[in-house]
Amino acid sequence: MKKNILVKFDLQIGEYEHQDSFIFNDKKTEYGYCKEFWNLNKKDELKENVFWDNQMLNAISVYSETEITNEQVKTLQQLGVA
């Protein structure tokens, strides 16, 4: 059965911190979410559950994950949030 998982990411881009969101269709590990969101080639951990990008210049981690309804997905997509 398809699930709607809203994942919020903490991103360290150079000296800047940023947060972004994405809706996944199935539950994954924290690395699985980061790998799919940033298209990571290999698992390089900066520290526990914080992963380097492919160039080892920026870092990503999962801030939160929440299962949401189809109606919530539609609303978030209409608002351009996820």
Per-residue pLDDT of 4-62, as tens digits, reads: 999 999 999 999 999 999 999 999 999 999 999 999 999 999 999 999 999 999 999 99
pTM over 0.85: yes
Where in the chain does DSSP place strands (E)?
5-13, 16-24, 45-47, 50-52, 59-67
Tokens of 59: 């870092």
Place of tokens 């539950």: 27
Number of domains forming the structure of the chain: 1
Q: Which backbone phi and psi does 27 adopt, to 5 degrees?
A: -75, 140
* Confidence at residue 75, expressed as pLDDT on a 0 to 100 scale: 94
Are 20 and 29 within 8 A, CB to CB?
A: no
Domain residue limits at 17: 5-79
